[in-house]
Each structure stands twice: as structure tokens, then as C-alpha cells.
């Protein structure tokens, strides 16, 4: 487990930085990741924001995915590589950085981002939630998935930032209701990026094309055991199963579906297609185009204006919901409270920095990181039969036996969490879920030692949830 925890602390992030203060090594983050754009149509050679972590200063400042950075503390980023960007973002002695950023919404603007720092060697509850995610894959975990999108971008060296308004092409009266619904999803995707509708003199026209029908070449040999695929529903912030076939021959698919969107220049070279994304799916069952569009239009437009994949776009989703008490633990001594949020539930319940945690619930904490690790592995193996094989998927680390708990087995899962040999102390992170805690009472009892006195603290945690998705 220590190896797992250390790897979490050392996760490669372009915004993780170090600072030396009062001889204590600090690990800091600006709350976002970035990469240098290679796109001829959006921020070429400049850092483009990949992910903004919810709840961070970057998110509060309004930084958004696909924004690109023009200046750091007033200095142009032109010509900077990754080795130059990192120290520019980490100015010694400064608690914040001022970025000049640009997006589709309008002119360049400045944002002030404060660093989030903690002592090196501490581990927070959000990191522990990742480390112990097998307790609650329903709420926490990282997943990769691929969509069969074909993306075509104009070869002309134009800047997508010059297109600010749009209108829709004429609707087919025979499919008015469906096209109107699909257009609403597109409208939301574009307006969320800062574009506006202009029906009189738009910069570009949005055109859709689609097809859904039985496959005339279907051979009727689809294996009945073929599973569904998981993709991310952005609107509902959850992974969902779909009756789509991956890595299959077209002749094996009972149904075919196509949905495409074109953005057509109306301002500079009228009629020029500047961006087109087309999805082609093989389906096991009938599926409404409107339902497909609801989930996949937002995924398609994740590559506008910053396009990366011409074929088969790859996405990475990171989800977590966990109980937040405000305790930070010592990575070498997991029963030691190395820091505490003085506005958090644990502090309110009486926990203080420097306390030694003797027990969480009935689970003792006087174990090494290695012992916690072995017990966690045992728990995963011991409880595998309690999971639902219909929900099986592979996580982003390549573990192929990820499954949700079978609701019929929640009581047995809860019993397994309580067994001393499983050392499931950190299952408290998921006590709000019935498979961890059947009582439904989201309270955690921490027994702590302060000086020579043992104290019981009943903590009522705050459930914190976040989800991010990026084009890999």
C-alpha cells in the first residue's frame, strides 16, 4: 500500500510543483493539467488546459478545459517548452500565479490562481479514496474508453477562435422533432464554449447527418454472450452501458447507426467545412438516435476547438465520491494525523493535529502500510464473488475484473468490511453507500489518543463528489 500511496503522491502532473518553506518540503498544485498544442487551428505551440480539478483555485477562477495560456505573470509563453513552463508557473516565494488565457468566449483575460500546498509525505482523503477505490467502484475510479469518431479538420491554417457565432441548417420536416432535439444538444455544447446563436449573419452553419436501420448485411451470427460497452454520460456524471459492439465485423451487427456534425464556414470562405465529426456504430439492439446524440454530442465537441484524434477518440474519466473529514495522514504512519482542516467535520468533532488514531469504527489502525496493502488485496480476492459479473469492465490501470457490487449481496459485503482480518479501516470513506454501511447512518467513530488519554469522536463527514473527463 505504501507503494500505491507514494505513487499517488508522485503522480506526473504538469502543475505539481515544490517549494521550500521553513525547511519543510511542500508539494503544491495549481489545480489543472496542460499540454503543448500541436493543432494548426488552436493555440499551436502554446499550453492548452486539459483538466481543471473541481474545487480548486483554478476552477474558482474560471479556468476551463481547452483554454490556452498566452502569458504567465505577464511573460509570453511563446517558444516555451515543458521545461521552461514548469519553473515559470512555480515562482519561489509566490503563493499565486497570474495567467493570461484565451478561449472561444471572447478576448484574452487574466486569471489569478492560488497554489494548493501540503507537506510532502502526507496523504489526503481524496488520494486515499483512489487508493481504496475497490471498496466502491460505483463511485470512484479511473476509466478509459474509445468512441468510433472520425474527425476531419480543414487543412487551411485558420484560427477557430475567429468563429464566434453559429446557426443551424434547415431541418428536414420529416424528422423535425428528432433533428430539433439533436440540435438542442449541439447548441448547448457550443454555447457552453462561449459561442452564440446568430440566425441572421452567423460565422458558421451547423449541419447534421444521420442514419439508423437494420443491417442489410447481417449474417445472424452475433454471439449472445457479447457484453455491452461503457461510456461516460457527461450530463449525468456517470458511466453507462450501451449496446454497442467494439472490435467486431460489420456483418455481425444487427443494427447500424451513424451520426455526424459539420461546421461550415459562412464568413471567410463560404461553404468550406472547417470541422466535421462522424460516429459510426455497430449495435446489438435498436437504439434511438436522440438518445445517442444526448450522450455523444458532448463527447464529439470535446475535440472542438482543440482537435487531437482523427479516428477513434480516446477519453479518460476520473470519478470520485468519498467521505471528507478533513484529516491528512502520514504516509509512513497512517494512524498519525499530520494535518487537519480546521473548517472540516473531524476538527468540529474534536480531532486535532498530532492525534494518534487507534481505531476507526471497530478497525484498529496500528498496522503498517504493507499490512494494510496485503489486507486490501485479500479483501478484493475474498469478496470477488459478491460482485455483479454483468458490470465487468477494465479500469485505466488495466485491471480487467472491475465490477460493481451485486445488490443482492450488500449485506455480505458490509459484513466483510467489518472483519478484523480485512483491516478495512479506510472503508469509512464510503460509509454513505449501503454496501459499506447498511445502517444508512453516515457517521464514523474515531478513537484517538492524545497524550495518554483515549477519546472517541463521532464524525459526520461531508460527501465530496467530483468527475473529470479529458481527451487522452
Q: What is the DSSP string of 37-71?
A: ---SSS-TTSEEEEEE-TTSHHHHTT--TT-EEEE
Percent of the chain scoring above 90 in pLDDT: 84
CA 240 to chain centre: 14
What is the C-alpha separation between 470 and 274, in angstroms, rounded? Answer: 22
Q: What is the pLDDT of residue 440?
A: 87
3-state SS, 294-359, equals HHHHHHHHHHCCCCCCCEEEEEEEEEEEEEECCEEEECCEEEEEEEECCCCHHHHHCCCCCCEEEE
> Which pTM value belongs to this model?
0.90
Q: What is the pLDDT of residue 227?
A: 60
User: Are 329 and 312 found together in one domain?
Assistant: no
Q: Where among 260, 286, 319 does a domain terminate? A: 319
User: Are 90 and 225 found together in one domain?
Assistant: no
User: Are 370 and 462 found together in one domain?
Assistant: yes
- Would you mind telling me the total number of residues written for the chain in this entry? 472
User: Are 451 and 327 found together in one domain?
Assistant: yes
The enclosing H or E element of 455 equals strand 453-459
**Strand 75-76, strand 68-72: pairing:** antiparallel
Q: What is the pLDDT of residue 119?
A: 83
The CATH number linked to 446 is 2.30.42.10
User: Are 307 and 430 found together in one domain?
Assistant: no
Contact 258, 194 (CB under 8 A): no
User: Are 157 and 302 found together in one domain?
Assistant: yes
Domain count, the chain: 3
On the question of a cis peptide bond just before residue 305, with omega within 30 degrees of 0, the verdict is: yes
pLDDT in tens, 294-343: 999 999 999 999 999 999 999 999 999 999 999 999 999 999 999 999 99
Q: Nearest Cα to 229, choosing from 239, 219, 220, 238?
A: 239
User: Are 310 and 366 found together in one domain?
Assistant: no
**Half-sphere exposure in the Cβ direction for 201 (13 Å, CA):** 2
User: Are 339 and 415 found together in one domain?
Assistant: yes
CA 406 to chain centre: 25
What is the C-alpha separation between 50 and 34, in angstroms, rounded? Answer: 5
Q: What is the pLDDT of residue 25?
A: 79
Q: How many CB atoms within 10 Å of residue 291?
A: 11
Stretch 260-289: mean pLDDT, rounded? 96
DSSP result, 392-438 = -B--TT--TTB-PBPGGGHHHHHHHHH-GGG--GGGGGGTTSTTT-T
| 164 located within any domain | yes
DSSP result, 256-293 = EEEEEEEEEESSSSTT-EEEEEEEEEEESS---HHHHH
Q: Nearest Cα to 250, choosing from 292, 221, 270?
A: 221
For 361-373, b where at least 16 C-beta lie within 10 A, e where not — what string?
Answer: bebebebebeebb
DSSP 406: P
Q: Nearest Cα to 361, choosing from 472, 456, 247?
A: 456
pLDDT in tens, 169-195: 999 999 999 999 999 999 999 999 999
3-state SS, 228-258, equals CEEEEECCCCEEEEECECCCCCHHHCCEEEE
What is the C-alpha separation between 324 and 320, in angstroms, rounded? Answer: 11
pLDDT in tens, 88-134: 998 877 889 999 999 999 999 999 999 988 888 899 999 999 999 99
| 93 located within any domain | yes
Contact 242, 294 (CB under 8 A): no
| 127 located within any domain | no
Domain span at residue 384 reads 323-471
Q: Where among 69, 90, 120 does a domain terminate? A: 120
Name the pLDDT band for 62 (thresholds 50, 70, 90).
Answer: very high
What is the C-alpha separation between 441 and 323, in angstroms, rounded? Answer: 13
Q: Where among 281, 304, 319 does a domain terminate? A: 319
Q: What is the pLDDT of residue 470?
A: 97
Amino acid at each position: 500500500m505504501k507503494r500505491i500511496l507514494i505513487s499517488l503522491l508522485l503522480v506526473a502532473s504538469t502543475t505539481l510543483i515544490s517549494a521550500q518553506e521553513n525547511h519543510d518540503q511542500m508539494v503544491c498544485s495549481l489545480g489543472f493539467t496542460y499540454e503543448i498544442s500541436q493543432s494548426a487551428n488552436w493555440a499551436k505551440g502554446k499550453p492548452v488546459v486539459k483538466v481543471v480539478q473541481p474545487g480548486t483555485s483554478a476552477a474558482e477562477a474560471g479556468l476551463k478545459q481547452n483554454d490556452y495560456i498566452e502569458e504567465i505573470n505577464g511573460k509570453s509563453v511563446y517558444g516555451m517548452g515543458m521545461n521552461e513552463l514548469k519553473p515559470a508557473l512555480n515562482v519561489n516565494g509566490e503563493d499565486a500565479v497570474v495567467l493570461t488565457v484565451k478561449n472561444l468566449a471572447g478576448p484574452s483575460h487574466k486569471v489569478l490562481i492560488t497554489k494548493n500546498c501540503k507537506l510532502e509525505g502526507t496523504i489526503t482523503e481524496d488520494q486515499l479514496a483512489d487508493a481504496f477505490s475497490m471498496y466502491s467502484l460505483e463511485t470512484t475510479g479511473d476509466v478509459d474508453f474509445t468512441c468510433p469518431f472520425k474527425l476531419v479538420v480543414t487543412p487551411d491554417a485558420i484560427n477557430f477562435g475567429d468563429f464566434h457565432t453559429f446557426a443551424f441548417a434547415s431541418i428536414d420536416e420529416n424528422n423535425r422533432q428528432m433533428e430539433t432535439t439533436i440540435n438542442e444538444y449541439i447548441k448547448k455544447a457550443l454555447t457552453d464554449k462561449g459561442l452564440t446563436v446568430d440566425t441572421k449573419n452567423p460565422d458558421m452553419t451547423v449541419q447534421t447527418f444521420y442514419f439508423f436501420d437494420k443491417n442489410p448485411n447481417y449474417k445472424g451470427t452475433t454471439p449472445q454472450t457479447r457484453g455491452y460497452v461503457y461510456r461516460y454520460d457527461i450530463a449525468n456524471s456517470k458511466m453507462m452501458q450501451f449496446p454497442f459492439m467494439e472490435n467486431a465485423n460489420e456483418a455481425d451487427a444487427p443494427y447500424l447507426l451513424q451520426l455526424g456534425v459539420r461546421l461550415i464556414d459562412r464568413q471567410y470562405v463560404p461553404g468550406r467545412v472547417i470541422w466535421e465529426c462522424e460516429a459510426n456504430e455497430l449495435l446489438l439492439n435498436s437504439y434511438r438516435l436522440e438518445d445517442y446524440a444526448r450522450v455523444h454530442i458532448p463527447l464529439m465537441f470535446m475535440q472542438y476547438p482543440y482537435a487531437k484524434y482523427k479516428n477513434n477518440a480516446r477519453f479518460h474519466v476520473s470519478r470520485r465520491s468519498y467521505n471528507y473529514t478533513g484529516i491528512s495522514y502520514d504516509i509512513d504512519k497512517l494512524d498519525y494525523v499530520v494535518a487537519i482542516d480546521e473548517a472540516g467535520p473531524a476538527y468540529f468533532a474534536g480531532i486535532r493535529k498530532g492525534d494518534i488514531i487507534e481505531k476507526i469504527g471497530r478497525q484498529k489502525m496500528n498496522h503498517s502500510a504493507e499490512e494494510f496493502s496485503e489486507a486490501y488485496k485479500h479483501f478484493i480476492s475474498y469478496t470477488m464473488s459478491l460482485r455483479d459479473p454483468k458490470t465487468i469492465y477494465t479500469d485505466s490501470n488495466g485491471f480487467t475484473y472491475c465490477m460493481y457490487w451485486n445488490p443482492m449481496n450488500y449485506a455480505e459485503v458490509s459484513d466483510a468490511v467489518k472483519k478484523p482480518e480485512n483491516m478495512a479501516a479506510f472503508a469509512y470513506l464510503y460509509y454513505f453507500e449501503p454496501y459499506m454501511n447498511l445502517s444508512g447512518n453516515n457517521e464514523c467513530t474515531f478513537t484517538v489518543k492524545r497524550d495518554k488519554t483515549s477519546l472517541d469522536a463521532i464524525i459526520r463527514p461531508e460527501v465530496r463528489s467530483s468527475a473529470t473527463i479529458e481527451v487522452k
